[in-house]
Structure 1
């Protein structure tokens, strides 16, 4: 059933510097034909983005300018005169208020504040080759263009804090306006978002995603190297690097055996921007993760996409994952948006004599064996299996919601599981009715509950003579939601009118490719409770054709297989109705997505136990699994590999 799965790192994992530069040069060359007459806007082909063509063009310029800056800095300005001239000309037109292709100003549209940060970082990074060669009028206009950032308190209290901070740092260095109060406030905000083990929340919501790395860890290091930043940083830089170092210990373990990053969180069209923190770790000289491993992690990610159609045959990064799939983008995304991916090429800013290029390659955790760890801040158990190269995250603490805020579940954040081999469903139904990697209450009329904002109760790895088991627990006020219309989708769940259905506890015990999921409804508060069922969904697998999906439905569960992957869910002692749900055009990894599902009657106070699996279709045959739950909270599990473990649940209010 299915094809053989042999995890293999892409060739990019072993690229030398010349190969990195060649890849970057291809992207830059492909962008040139889409430049405006003055080079100030680069508008890639495709439907207009949510913010309009002018913003699309600004993004196209600013984000490719990031890559051009890395290229120029790494070459120390030698042999890149054409690149310097092209972007210098674009800057002059962009800040000329009379130019037809002038840039959207910061006080005209909020997206300009994001792009201004890229302009500031690169103008500082390439100061001898671009800024110092601009004529006096253009310099004055650049300062005037960036100046509205000063004192602007409308920047969101998220990773955007760094956009204002790097702009003001650059302005200060060139004699422009800046605010010490803004700098102090932004640094204080950043520090307030720091959580355990080097993880940083993207705002005050429980938002843990790739922004932790490609923004909240990258900018502190780049900022600390800007001219004059040392006078603003005081003694904080060592602490920022220590946080980065600890974060990278987890980040290298989240790279799949085929180089894929985790398919979780918003802005996934930025693809291998997720490689940026590895390069910034090399720039900062972190002590715990070797240079050879950092380079390999970055190369594996970029290579993963390079071998799967990104960029496309024309050298363009489309809105999608491997290839174009516009539903993956947020509502604000335009044709230039995917070029934030170039952060993952930050390494080319390091010159040829930097030791990262000659460091001995070091295998990633997924290449050396199975890995099981907890990420306490995010409420994740991470289980990676070397045999199939899959990294799985079992999630009990991330939902992009404020604590206590009852909103809809975002498929990008609030599902129970994410992996490097699967994608959450992202069609319209996915935002309203969680299916894959969920445990929901379903009303008689078909309404499905959400679990945001869940309460994380436990996340840890048990390591004793019975074997290592990841344990995570959460409790939620399961609720139905009637959504209100939303103008913009920025990755969070829908808001609307809420009706509480009851309280649901979910306990996950994790080993290898398996999760024993224990679900208990401790109370039902909705009217018509007799019509409520409990539905539990497994992993979604994808295929390019419906015929490419194998469906197996039995009395105790269901299995869906597609290509090299199989996903199954089986009941452990509870009567269920099983099915495989297939949806068309619901995810970025294939035209059809399939989810095995079981449904059972709700018995308040009683446990429903299932075993959920994601593995290669050619994985070894398995033994029947079993679970015994004692009254004192002791859980004895017999796993499909015939190992037996004993764990204890935390006291979650048992009578």
Structure 2
């Protein structure tokens, strides 16, 4: 076990990942309720009840423990989860979880229980008494009859069905076939799904829609459907590899970021279903590099528990459905532990990330990904996503750029610029106090490294935005038609301010900041705005607790206006890409204008 409570340092074989599962689970052992049906990890502020939160903490470690057992890995505490399953499903036991009901959190956690029955019945089912099996079966069979949300949740009863089939318990197969049919209606082509009838195309596509589909492909009884799931996953892998740097860092984007290394679970699910979408050594590298990167991050508390947050404990960015056990969804990354040692995924030698094009435009998600600094830095440009129902939804989906080096920021208020933390977006204000960023873009298009969207922060204000990929730069073009006078603030990347900058240059049309923690330059290509440094409130950025945001400020009288700026983020001073005394030169407006058809004019 790691004494510093970090995840184990996985290498190229199964033993390292096995160690990581055991290390993550070890701090949980002492936190079971007396009846073992609940795991109590702290106070929950999620929207669901305490019983659901404690079931969540109980169930989610099974995403790692079940594959561990299926692959022959030893674990000394299966009796805790076995006894807890019996207690939690028994209406006469004090630890009873309560029955699942339509769209309830209990239904979410049934998926891990179903997978455990399917992969490790010898540990979780076979030792139960006859009465215990009856109560477990009754509770799970009931969960198959309730209605899930119409999105990736439709897979939860399917996962339960796989488990019940493995242990010989009958259930309604027709209902699950109908759910699978509905899930396939969310297919967008080229391997992309939408997560239900909404616009969101985020990590729920790889770690939910594809992940469950690949499990079904491996364990289900419908060969034609299984082949469709495999084909879509193989196609999706071609795009998804662009979301990771050559060092395994994934782009932080969208909701549920507290699930952390679940973002690489897709790569292990490919192996589980036997889908060699890329060479096995490449697939293996994508998974292991991401796990190694996460092992170096301060994401666990002093007792070893995973915390709510992303790059560090940060409850402020959590979702309304994040309880103390929620981060253990990350254990989905350990699915390939179910495979035997002789599987080609395990026998392959981990390969470096392959060379990829500098720009990957992915219209199904409304994004373009820039591969910068020889693949060490990835920037995702986003034009089409929005999730107004999600906590900080505008910041998580509708900013212009998301970076593997600089992350993005969530607001701590909208009264002052430092509260809004408006990195990588354009914010507008009538009074210089209350600010509105881009929240819900419309009329989205994405082609050849150029993204377009339209948004209306007020009824009499319409903004058309073009984002142009010019690695390592990106250029933002805004045509604004405003019926009221406005203040504007457009932020570059947020820079960690814990180390003082080595160079700063602010003035008309520019902000340039260089520090050991990174460089950001934002230049107004029309020279109409003033550069300022905004010191954001602490705890707003997903990577750095304290940041400074280079920002262009300007005033707009009523009328029609064109704002154009170029933004770059790089390693700090002394990097190989930039000389120590020179600032990088932005692309010229003329070269950008030719990429826009038609080109906007002031």
Say whether the 8 Å CA contact 2:38–2:58 is kept in structure 1: yes
Aligned to 1:472: 451
Q: Name the residue aligned to 2:358.
A: 371
Tell me the secondary structure at the aligned position of residue 195 of structure 1. strand
Counterpart Cα distance in 2 of 1:34 and 1:611: 51
Distance in 1, Cα, partners of 2:325 & 2:89: 19
Aligned twin of 2:435: 448
Q: Deviations over 1:219-273 (max 9, x none)?
A: 01112333xx31xx35111111111111112222211244222111111111101
**Correspondence for 2:572:** 617
State the distance in 1 between where 2:287 and 2:90 align: 38
Residue 648 (str. 1) matches residue 595 (str. 2): yes
Aligned pair partner of 2:146 in 148, 152, 158? 152
Q: Distance in 2 between matches of 1:607 and 1:11?
A: 51
**315-324 or 167-176: bigger deviation:** 167-176
Cα displacement (A) at 1:17: 1.4
- Within the alignment, does 1:188 sit opposite 2:181 as a pair? yes
Residue number in structure 2 paired with 1:519: 478
SS of 1:400's equivalent in the other structure is coil
Whether 1:292 and 2:281 are equivalent positions in the alignment is yes
Q: Secondary structure at the match of 1:132?
A: coil
Is 1:537 matched with 2:496?
no
**Structure 1, residues 109-160: CA drift from partner, whole Å, max 9, x if none?**
811111111101111111244323322211111122123333423x211211
Tell me the CA shift for residue 313 of structure 1. Answer: 4.9
Between stretches 441-450 and 533-542, larger displacement belongs to 441-450
Query: Aligned equivalents of 1:333 and 1:596: distance in 2?
Result: 32
In the alignment, the residues of structure 2 paired with residue 448 and residue 414 of structure 1 have an alpha-carbon distance, to the nearest angstrom, of 15
Q: Structure 2-normalised TM-score?
A: 0.89
The count of corresponding residues between Structure 1 and Structure 2 is 585
Counterpart-to-counterpart distance in 1, 2:584 and 2:29 = 58
Q: Do the aligned partners of 1:201 and 1:212 also contact (CA within 8 Å) in 2? A: yes
Partner of 1:117: 111
Structure-2 change in CA distance of 1:375 and 1:456 (3 Å): farther
Contact 1:327–1:427 (8 Å) recurs in 2: no
> Relative to structure 1, is the Cα distance of residues 79 and 187 closer, same or farther in structure 2, using a 3 angstrom cutoff?
closer
Is 1:135 the equivalent of 2:129?
A: yes
Which residue of structure 2 lines up, in the alignment, with residue 487 of structure 1? none
Secondary structure of 1:242 counterpart: helix
Q: 1:622 to 1:559 in 2, by over 3 A?
A: closer
* 1:374-421, Cα deviation, whole Å (9 max, x unpaired): 11111111001244711100111222369xxxx985211111111112
Alignment of 1:174-323 (within 5 A): 174=167, 176=169, 178-226=171-219, 229-230=220-221, 233=222, 235-323=224-312
- Separation in structure 2 between the aligned mates of residue 540 and residue 379 of structure 1, nearest angstrom: 23
Matches of 1:95 and 1:458, distance apart in 2: 49
When structure 1 is superposed on structure 2, of 266-275 and 409-418 the one drifting more is 409-418
The higher relative CO (CA closer than 8 Å, separation ≥ 6) is in: 1
Paired residue for 1:349?
338
Query: Paired residue for 1:67, among 52, 64, 69?
Result: 64
The 1:588–1:625 alpha-carbon spacing in structure 2 relative to 1, beyond 3 Å, is closer
Counterpart of 2:15 in structure 1 is 18
Listed as ranges, the gaps of 5+ residues in structure 2 are: 1-6
The partner residue of 2:387 within 384, 392, 400 is 400
2:305 and 2:393 map into 1 onto residues whose CA distance is 33
Aligned equivalents of 1:509, 1:18: Cα separation in 2: 45
Kindly indicate whether the alpha-carbon contact (under 8 Å) linking 1:196 and 1:376 is maintained by their aligned counterparts in 2: no
Any conservation in 2 of the 1:143–1:176 contact (CA below 8 Å)? yes
SS, match of residue 272 in structure 2:
helix
8 Å contact from structure 1 (residues 70, 348) kept in 2: yes
How many angstroms does 1:105 deviate by? 2.8
Contact 2:144 2:172 (C-alpha < 8 Å) held by counterparts: yes
What is the aligned partner in structure 2 of residue 490 from structure 1? none
Residue 180 to residue 217, structure 1, CA distance change in 2 (3 Å): same
SS of corresponding position for 1:335: coil
For the residues of structure 1 that align with 2:460 and 2:336, how far apart are their CA atoms?
A: 50
2:563 aligns with 608
Q: Say which of 325, 328, 335 aligns to 2:317.
A: 328
What CA RMSD, in Å, does the superposition of the two structures yield over aligned residues? 2.9
Task: Name the structure 2 match of 1:578.
Answer: 531
Could you say which residue in structure 2 is the equivalent of 1:167? 160
Contact 1:370 1:386 in 2 (8 A): no
Of 243-252 and 256-265, deviating more is: 256-265
2:510 corresponding residue in structure 1: 557
- In the TM superposition, residue 40 of structure 1 has moved relative to its aligned partner by 1.9
Note the residue ranges of structure 1 that are not aligned, 5 or more in a row.
1-9, 462-469, 480-498, 629-634, 638-645
* Residue from 510, 513, 519 that aligns with 2:469: 510
Which structure 2 residues correspond to residues 428-439 of structure 1 after superposition, within 5 A? 428-429=412-413, 435-439=422-426
Q: 1:418 maps to which residue? A: 402
In the alignment, is residue 98 of structure 1 matched against residue 77 of structure 2? no
* Other structure's SS at 1:304 match: helix
Cα deviation for residue 164 of structure 1 reads 2.3
Matches within 5 A, 1:628-647: 628=589, 635-637=590-592, 647=594
Is 1:126 matched up with 2:120?
yes
Contact 2:520–2:569 (CA<8 Å) still a contact in 1?
yes
1:554–1:158 distance in 2 versus 1, CA, 3 Å: same
- Corresponding position of 1:566: 519
1:384 matched to 2:366? The reply is: no
Alpha-carbon shift at residue 274 of structure 1 (Å) = 0.8
Selected match of 1:37 from 9, 28, 34: 34
